[in-house]
Amino acid sequence: MRYRKKPVIVEAKQWHAHGDHPSVRRTSYTEVAQGLGTSGCSRGPECWSWAVMGVIDTLEGPHFVIPGDWIITGVRGEHYACKAEIFAATYDEVSE
């Protein structure tokens, strides 16, 4: 079976550094190393140090964010992160 995502307008803000969004907290070398199984950096092709990464405590547990990720406010007021390329492919800006 195939499904289409319902058209829902969400609030979102691109995250670049600590202080950009209140739901993103600072992380530590240990938290990143344990959470991602790395030596304190992101898994992507560009290795981001734990010092510039952040964490969102989502309904599914902690989610690590890197600069450029989008922070989306869900339909119930929850926050979660979305990679920039996925955000661009999934969302269009709404002018009001």
Kindly state the tokens that stand for 39: 């030596």
**4, part of any domain:** no
The model's pTM is: 0.85
**pLDDT at 96 exceeding the cut of 80:** no
Query: Tens of pLDDT along 63-81?
Result: 999 999 999 998 889 999 9
Give a three-class secondary structure readout of 19-39. CCCCCEEECCHHHHHHHHCCC
**17, part of any domain:** yes
**29, part of any domain:** yes
**2, part of any domain:** no
Residue 72, domain extent? 11-90
Query: Tens of pLDDT along 13-67?
Result: 999 999 999 999 999 999 999 999 999 999 877 889 999 999 999 989 999 999 9
Structurally, how many domains does the chain consist of? 1
